Structure 1
C-alpha cells in the first residue's frame, strides 16, 4: 500500500493566529499598516505581477521590522501566545496512528512555524516555512537606508486611507527606491513560502515518499494556498479548503467549514477513494450527528464542482462566518 501524505497550511487550519500580523502590531500603527500591505499583496497576486508570489507580504514588511528593532525573540514570544485550532492536535495524533505522514507548508516565519509544529509533534524537517534573518539583513544597512525606511513609514501612516495613492507609493518604494539602495529588492532578501513555492514544497514532500501531487491531500484557506490547492486538485489529488476565503475556495475540490478539525477525519478515513469522499460530502446532512466525539451539526462539508458558481457562492458565505469565528480579526486578511 502506498504511503499517505497530508500537507497542512499552518495559519488557519492549525492555528488561528496570523503571526506576522501580531508581530507588527508590537509597533504603534503596525496592525493598520499590515492590513494595507496585505491588500497590496492581494492586488499584486491578482494582477499576476512577475516575480511576485502571494504571501510575499512577509518579505515586504521586513524593512520595517528591522527599523523598529523587532527581533527573532519577539517573533517567537508572539507565537508563544498562539493557540491551536480546536481538534487539530487530536486529528494529527490520530492520523499519525493510522500511518499518515504529516507535513506543514506555511508562509509563517520559522519561529512561529516550528513553535506550532512542536506543539503538534511535527518536527522542523517536516515543515516548509519562511526563514527570516533580521540580523543579517540589518548588518548590510547604513543610516541612509534606515532613514529612508523611517521616512516612508511616516508617509504610509499619513496615506493609509487613500488606497489609490498608497498602492502607487508602495510600488515606488518597494520596486524602485529600495532596489537602488543597499537593501536591494525586498523579494530577493526574503524568500517567502507562498504561492508556487508551496507547490514546490508539496511536490518535494510527495517525491520523498515516492508520491506525486495527484496522490496526496492538502489543506489550505487563503490566497497563499490557491496555487497549491489547484495543483493538487488538477493532478487528481484531494485539495481541502478549510474555513476558506474566495481566494482559495475556487481551487479546492472539497470545502470544510468547522470549529473542530477532527471533522476532517471523515474524509481522511476514506482517502484515497475519492468517490467515497464525495459520497460523504453529498450526504453530510444525513450521516451520523457525531463522529468520534465531534458534533457534526456544527460543521459543513461540500464537494466543489469546478463549474458550479451558485454552490461556490453559497459555500463562500458559510465559510466567511466560520472563518470570522475561528480566526477573529485575522479573518479579514487575504
Structure 2
C-alpha cells in the first residue's frame, strides 16, 4: 500500500472470508492434501485456541493455525503454484459480495484485511475485480525451502499421530490448564512436545517461526495504518468482519465512533461489533456502506430503528436502484440487521450460527 489512493473522506475495510468469500481456505486446503486432513486441521485449530485463550502461550495468537500447519502442508506436497491453483478452483463468493465491493469502491476508498494466505487473497481479488494493492494478508512462500525425504516422513508420521489424538475440549470460561479434563491435559502436553520441541530442528520449522499470520492485532494495526495514510480518522471508517481475529478492530472502530459491523459473526465478533447482520447475501453491505458514506455512523444506526424497505425509502440515504435490487434479493422479507446490545446479542448470535453454516458450510468456524 505504497501509493496514494484517489478518494478522501470515509473508507470501508472488510475481512475476506465470511463477508466476501464463503471458504475456509486453510481448512479446505488441508483437507484436500493432508491424510485425514479435516480432522488434522480441527486438531491443530483447537490446539491453537487452547494456547491463545487458556495457556496464553507467549507469541501465539488467534489465527496462528495458519503457520502451525505449514510444515505439514509442505510435507504433503504443497507449493506456491498449487496453493494458488487450489484457491482459484475452490473459490466461493458470498452472493452479492462482488457487487458490494465494487459498489463500495465507487463511494469511498476500500480495503480488505485478512488472515488468509496471499495466494487465496490474490485469487479472490482476481475473481471479484478488487485491487490487490489495497489488501493486507498473510505473506508466505512455500517454495522458499526444500525438504528431504526423511523430514517428509517425520512430518507425515507426526500428522498421523495428531489425527489419532482425541480432539481437545476446552470448557467455556476455562482460564488455565487446571480447568481442562485430565485427558485433555495429556493431549495438550503431547501437542506441546510436537510443536515446540520435536519439530524445532526441522528445516521446515522456519515456516512456523518466520510466517506471521495477520491475526487480531495485525488487523487492528493495518486498519489504523490505512487511516493514517489516508488522513482519515477512525470515526470515518466502516469495518465489516465475522470472526475472532476481527474482534479487536471491531472494538477499536466502535470505540472511535466508526461503524463496526459483524456479518454472520461468531460470538467474539458480535460482542465487539455495534451492528449485527444475518444474511445469505452481501447486498446488505452495500446498503450499510451507502448509509455510512452519506450519514456516517449515526446515519446508519438511525435506519436500524425502522429497518424496513419503507424505512429505507423514507430515509433517502440509499439510491433507488439499490433499493430495487435489495427488494428483488429479499422478496419474502428483510434480512436481520440490528444494533447489538445485551438484549439483542443472544438472538443475533443464534441466527448467525445457523447462517454461517448455510453460507460457509461449517458450523464450527
Q: Does 1:319 align with 2:352?
A: yes
User: TM-score, structure 2 length as denominator?
Assistant: 0.83
Q: Tell whether 2:243 aligns with 1:243.
A: no
Q: Pick closer, same or farther for the CA change 1:270–1:194 going to 2, 3 Å.
A: same
Instruction: Tell me the secondary structure at the aligned position of residue 95 of structure 1.
Output: helix
Q: CA deviation at 1:114?
A: 1.0
Change (3 A) 1:203 1:66: same
**3-state DSSP of counterpart to 1:248:** helix
**1:184 to partner: Cα distance:** 4.4
Q: What does 1:218-297 align with in structure 2 at a 5 Å threshold?
A: 218-271=239-292, 272-285=295-308, 287=311, 291-295=323-327, 296=330, 297=333
2:114–2:137 contact (8 Å) kept in structure 1 = yes
| Equivalent in the alignment of 2:98 | 89
Q: Of 129, 134, 143, which residue of structure 2 is paired with 1:126? A: 134
Which deviates further from its counterpart, 250-259 or 274-283? 274-283
After TM superposition, the structure 1 stretch with the greater mean CA deviation from structure 2, 293-302 or 62-71, is 293-302
**Cα distance 1:327–1:123, how it changes in 2: closer, same or farther (>3 A)?**
same
CA distance in 1, matches of 2:220, 2:100: 23
Q: Which moved more, 1:85-94 or 1:291-300?
A: 291-300
Partner Cα distance (1:191, 1:216) in 2: 25
Tell me if the contact between 1:23 and 1:74 (Cα under 8 Å) persists in the aligned partners: no
- For the residues of structure 2 that align with 1:89 and 1:124, how far apart are their CA atoms? 14
Decide which of 41, 51, 58 is 1:50's aligned counterpart: 58
Q: Is the 8 A contact 1:219 1:241 kept in 2?
A: yes
Question: Which sections of structure 1, spanning at least 5 residues, go unmatched?
Answer: none
Match of 1:109 among 117, 130, 133: 117
**How far off its partner does 1:142 sit?**
4.7
User: Which entry has the higher C-alpha Rg, 1 or 2?
Assistant: 2
Q: Secondary structure, in 3 states, of the residue corresponding to 1:292? A: helix
CA RMSD of aligned residues (A): 2.2
- Structure 2 unpaired stretches of 5+: 1-6, 170-183, 314-321
1:30 maps to which residue?
Answer: 37
Question: Which range moved further: 290-299 or 88-97?
Answer: 290-299
In the TM superposition, residue 14 of structure 1 has moved relative to its aligned partner by: 0.5
**1:17 matched to 2:17:** no
Alpha-carbon distance in 2 for matches of 1:235, 1:53: 24
Alpha-carbon distance in 2 for matches of 1:43, 1:59: 16
Q: Would you say 1:62 and 2:70 are equivalent positions?
A: yes
1:332 CA displacement = 1.5
Structure 1 residue 6, shift from structure 2 partner = 0.8
Q: Determine which of 47, 65, 68 is the counterpart of 1:40.
A: 47
Asked whether 1:6 is paired with 2:12, we answer yes
TM superposition shift of 1:158: 1.5
* 1:300 positional shift: 0.8
Instruction: Identify if the C-alpha distance between structure 1 residues 209 and 135 changes in structure 2 by more than 3 Å, giving closer, same or farther.
Output: same
Aligned mates of 2:203, 2:84 — CA distance in 1: 28
Alignment length (residue pairs): 326
